[in-house]
Copies of this chain bind each other. A is one copy, B any other.
């Protein structure tokens, strides 16, 4: 969550806005930075930060910098136990990775980021890839972001075609050496869950190959009762 919301009304929302300022790239922020990033007054931010520290959602280092606290780990652990579909995804994701010999990931939308909920690392050649739990703002693009945006804000002009196609191929959007194909993932009842992505080296992957992967995704996901591709 990098995008700054214009008019956050309510302290709770302001507090969450402060949390959203933290990223993998800038996991430690001081009051000045947080105030600037969130657009909140120093005093306002300080008050919210204090409560967040008290409740363990942030920590304050002796040098004055804030960073996420252990309460997040607690909540994440509970999230994993409830999110039944994440555990159902692990097997098919592993199978896909094995068959295509590339890294397969599952992303959901959370506000204006895509968050990685599951991933198979077995064919990871480069330490480029982000970890489970990591998030990237939509603005930085990528195939998964396109799918998520199309299915959560269908009014977009580009969205209609992406939904129609049932997949999206991106080349070099995040890193010039990588290409990805992403497909939407649906629950049995047709509800949208997120995006499955297969990523590999651009040189190895022509569009025909990438499109062929969508069939593999569909097959493996069907085995666990998921549906992937064009919505029916």
Contacts and interface: CB of A to CB of B under 8 A. Distances in A.
A27 interface: yes
B51 A117 contact: no
Interface string A67-90: 111111111111111110000000
Given A20-B55, A55-B20, A134 B27 contact: no
A28 B82 contact: yes
Interface in A65-113: 67-83, 108, 110-111, 113
Contacts of A23: 78
Interface stretch (A11-19, A154-162, A197-205, A215-223): A11-19
Nearest to A108: B70
Contact of A133 (B1, B15, B54, B73): B73
Contacts of A143: none
A7 interface: no
Contacts of A12: 11-12, 14-15, 48, 51-52
A78 B110 contact: no
A166 interface: no
A77 B11 contact: no
For this chain, the copies found in one complex come to: 2
Nearest to A135: B74
A22 interface: yes
A2 to B, nearest CB: 11
B70 A72 contact: no
Contact of A24 (B11, B27, B28, B77): B77
Contacts of A69: 79, 110
Q: 6 tightest CB-CB pairs across the interface, nearest first?
A: A77-B133, A76-B76, A56-B110, A72-B75, A68-B79, A67-B82
Interface of A: 1, 10-16, 19-20, 22-24, 27-28, 48, 51-52, 54-57, 59, 67-83, 108, 110-111, 113, 115, 117, 131-135
